[in-house]
Amino acid sequence: MKQYFRILAYGKPYLGLVGINVLFSIVSIIFGIFSLALLKPFLDLLFEQQELVTSAPELAFNKDAIVGNFNLFISDIIREKGKSQALVTVSVIIVISFFLKNITLYLSKFFLAPVRFGVIHDIRNKLYNKVLRLPVSYFSEKRKGDVISRMTTDVVEMEWTIMGSIEMILRDPVSIIAFMVVLFSMSAKLTLFAIILFPVSGALIGFLGKSLRRTSGKGQRKLGEILSIVEETLGGLRVLKAFNAEETADKRFQQNNRSLYKTLVRLLRKRDLASPMSEFLGVTVMAFVMWYGGSMVLSGEGGLDAATFITFVLLLSQLLAPIKSLANGYSQIQKGTASAERILEIIDAEESIKDTPDAKSLKEFTTGIELKDVSFAYEDKKVLKNINLTIPKGKTIALVGQSGSGKSTLADLVARFYDIKEGQILLDGISSKEYKLHDYRQQMGIVSQQSILFNDTILSNIALGVENPDKERVIEAAKIANAHDFIMDTENGYETNIGDGGGKLSGGQKQRISIARAIFKNPPILILDEATSALDTESEKLVQDALYKLMQNRTTLVIAHRLSTIQHADEIIVMHEGQIVERGTHTELVAKKGTYNKLYELQAFD
């Protein structure tokens, strides 16, 4: 239930509307009871039980005063215009009060709609924002499809269940209390008799709710798995086809889907139990009351007359509706709580990389970056061991080494995608953790092996993160990146949409757009992680040329697969299994005849 209240807390900004809703609900309930209570004088008239009264009790807001005044009103009509006219009057009043009951009921719903969807709207925003803030490591541990499922299906589920039952939660208890008060005033004995059976029903429904919640959680998890599979399939469709893996993929999907189906059937069966169960329990109560009350009327004991008894039974039957819907609402809430839990898990996830309260701003990068005794492990296995390294401002430092030696990890640490636990990364002598994250990243441009492009225009991809970019500057950047010519050849030039992940472009073109993006951002520090290794020789030349232009007058950390591209670096760092094994300029390292020289000789034949 904790999660439930936390979700409800998101309704805080809407308390005013909730208040209006409750107000209209109460008015509506009063009209509802009033219109039913009118049945008693109606029946009295019909059975000729109405005793004419001539004086009214003092005006007050209690049952005797209201009933007394109403009796006087009816008596006056009977005296002046006859019984049939009184019958008409009572009927008209019943119609009017039912009309008012329903108008106010509608109004209460009217004001609740923005609350219901407002809360969901806010939670969606919050989730998306959270996903943007969470460190990249969060998503390597969680499956993407599961996160998507939490942000979509779980939110919808919560909208249906928790927010859907909010109306009942606000309305039904008031309704139940109001009916109880009236019933008590009519016959305390009968009312007490009726509520003896409540705890039994409560226990049954509570048990059902718990079970529903478990099954619902299972269902949502399964749905997440299915979304993960779909997401992976769409991303890897080419490979699935090329390796004739469609059948295996299909089988895997069908298995998961089947298991989801089973869970959902079980879930619905459990949920559907709530309503008939509470109705049956309610009717049992009714039958007991009818039997007990009926014998009271017959024996004349307790001063219960037939008209009062019939009205009592009618009101009691009306009481069953809110009780039933409350029971239903409770099981809906239990079902939705499973989704709420999954949503709150994301909202509560730790933003391990964020600004400290006294984070420093960083206007200008002045001296350089220094890694001091940096060690790093993803889980248990150490990936970097005691790295010491300086990148002075304006210099180019190259990282080379076998694949898996930790080069990309080192670059990710410099970009603060992960925080280090051992050692320090200093920028201008101050730990990277002490800067405002935004300012720190503003200093860096990153081009990696895989160009990450968005399904948007070329212009927006180059000017990523900038609203209303200066088109001239974008074109300038594209020209330096050797991208302008091919962009002009596309259908709509800079306004061309490049499709999902840039699917409409070749690898070299994508990479040149990534480079143009880095040029456009114009950061003082550049991180190039094998920016050309995915390209053919032809486009590599174009991209390499673009990179050289980009690197001019900048501080660069370049990871290269092809050693010919980094020969001019100010320092070359050779890494092996997370450690620096050699360092120096190209000439020094070749002369040393060590690891670097071996790598270099191997590539000489490329």
**Site of interaction with ligand ADP (CB under 6 A):** 140, 378, 383, 403-409
Min dist CB 17 to Mg ion, Å, is: 53
Half-sphere exposure at residue 378, Cβ-oriented, CA atoms within 13 angstroms:
13
Instruction: Please compute, for residue 366, the number of CA atoms within 13 A of its CA located in the half-sphere on the CB side.
Output: 6
Site string for Mg ion, 181-200 (x = CB under 5 A): --------------------
Considering only CA atoms, which of 569, 582, 580, 594 is closest in space to residue 391?
569
Return the number of the residue (311 or 408) whose C-beta is nearest Mg ion: 408
How would you class 464 by CB atoms within 10 Å of its CB: exposed for 0-12, middle for 13-18, buried for 19 or more? Answer: middle
Which is closer to ligand ADP, CB of 405 or CB of 482?
A: 405
State the nearest-atom distance from the C-beta of 132 to ligand ADP, in Å.
Answer: 19
Shortest Å, Cβ 440 to Mg ion: 22
Task: Single out the segment in contact with Mg ion by CB under 5 A; choices: 59-67, 237-245, 259-267, 407-415.
Answer: 407-415
Nearest distance from residue 570's CB to Mg ion, in Å? 21
Min CB(400)–ligand ADP separation in Å: 9
**Residue 244's binding partner out of ligand ADP, Mg ion, none, with CB under 5 to 8 Å set by partner kind:** none
Reference 527, options 467, 461, 440; nearest CA is 440
Query: Residue 326 binds which one of Mg ion, ligand ADP, none, with CB within 5 to 8 A depending on kind?
Result: none
Least distance to ligand ADP from the beta carbon of 517, Å? Answer: 21
Question: Closest CB to ligand ADP among 159 and 530?
Answer: 530
Q: Which of 423, 464, 414 is nearest to 441 (CA)?
A: 414
- DSSP character at residue 378: S
Residue 395, SS3?
A: coil
The amino acid occupying position 439 is D
Residue 533 beta carbon to Mg ion: minimum distance, rounded to whole angstroms:
9
**CB of 86 or CB of 400, closer to ligand ADP:** 400
88 Cα distance to chain centroid: 56
Amino acid at 473: R
CB-nearer residue toward ligand ADP: 383 or 569:
383
Partner interacting with residue 405 (select from ligand ADP, Mg ion, none; CB below 5-8 Å by kind): ligand ADP
Minimum CB distance to ligand ADP smaller for 44 or for 530: 530
* Contact window for Mg ion (CB under 5 A) among 125-133, 328-336, 406-414, 514-522: 406-414
Q: Pick the piece of the chain touching Mg ion (CB under 5 A) from 120-128, 403-411, 419-427, 593-601.
A: 403-411
CA distances from 169 to 30, 130, 409 (A): 17, 30, 52
Nearer to Mg ion, 295 or 402 (CB): 402
Q: Min. distance of Cβ 463 from ligand ADP in angstroms?
A: 29
> What distance in Å separates the CA atoms of residue 31 and residue 595, rounded to the nearest whole number?
90
Q: Least distance to ligand ADP from the beta carbon of 23, Å?
A: 55
Binder of residue 150, out of ligand ADP, Mg ion, none (CB less than 5 to 8 A by kind): none
What gap in Å lies between CA 321 and CA 172, rounded to an integer?
A: 9
What's the closest the beta carbon of residue 540 comes to ligand ADP, in angstroms?
19
| Binding-site partner at residue 140 among ligand ADP, Mg ion, none, CB < 5 to 8 Å by type | ligand ADP
Residue closer to ligand ADP by CB (options 220, 405) is 405
How far apart (Å, rounded) are the C-alpha atoms in residues 527 and 531? 9
Nearer to Mg ion, 86 or 528 (CB): 528
Q: In whole angstroms, what is the distance from residue 133 CA to residue 444 CA?
A: 18
String of DSSP letters for 55-71: -PPPP-SSHHHHHHHHH
- Residue 39, both tokens: 């049945």
Nearer to ligand ADP, 104 or 409 (CB): 409
Taking the least distance from each CB to ligand ADP, the nearer of 243 and 378 is 378
User: Quick check: helix, strand or coil at residue 53?
Assistant: coil
Which range binds Mg ion by CB under 5 A, 111-119, 250-258, 382-390, 401-409?
Answer: 401-409
Say which residues have a Cβ less than 8 Å from residue 427's Cβ, sequence separation at least 6.
Answer: 362, 365, 368, 369, 370, 435, 440, 443
Which CB atom, from 128 or from 139, has the smaller least distance to ligand ADP? 139
Strand partners, 574: 400, 582
Q: Give the residue at shortest CB distance from Mg ion.
A: 408
Q: Which amino acid would we find at residue 116?
A: R
Of 115 and 413, the one with the shorter C-beta distance to ligand ADP is 413
Nearer to Mg ion, 93 or 391 (CB): 391
Question: How many Å separate Cα 449 from the centre of its chain?
Answer: 32
Helix/strand/coil percent split, the chain, to 5: 65, 10, 20
Burial environment of residue 600 by CB neighbours within 10 A (0 to 12, 13 to 18, 19 or more): middle
Residue 529 Cβ, how far from ligand ADP at the closest point, in Å?
7
Where is 294: in which H helix or E strand?
A: helix 246-299
End-to-end CA gap in the chain: 65
Phi, psi of 89 (to 5 degrees): -60, -45
Question: Residue 335: phi, psi to the nearest 5?
Answer: -65, -45
CA dihedral 243, 247, 251, 254 (to 10 degrees): 110
Token pair listed for 95: 């119609």
**Which of Mg ion, ligand ADP, none does 406 bind, CB closer than 5 to 8 A by kind?**
ligand ADP
Q: How far is the CB of 447 from Mg ion (least distance, A)?
A: 13
Least distance to ligand ADP from the beta carbon of 354, Å?
Answer: 20
378 touches, from Mg ion, ligand ADP, none (C-beta below 5 to 8 Å by class): ligand ADP
In the complex, least distance from residue 142 CB atom to ligand ADP, rounded to whole angstroms: 12
Q: Which of residues 25, 331, 332, 408 is near Mg ion by CB under 5 A? A: 408
In this structure, what are the phi and psi dihedrals at residue 2, rounded to the nearest 5 degrees?
-55, -45
User: Cα angle at 375 between 369 and 376, to 5 degrees?
Assistant: 105
Q: Which residues bind Mg ion (CB under 5 A)?
A: 408
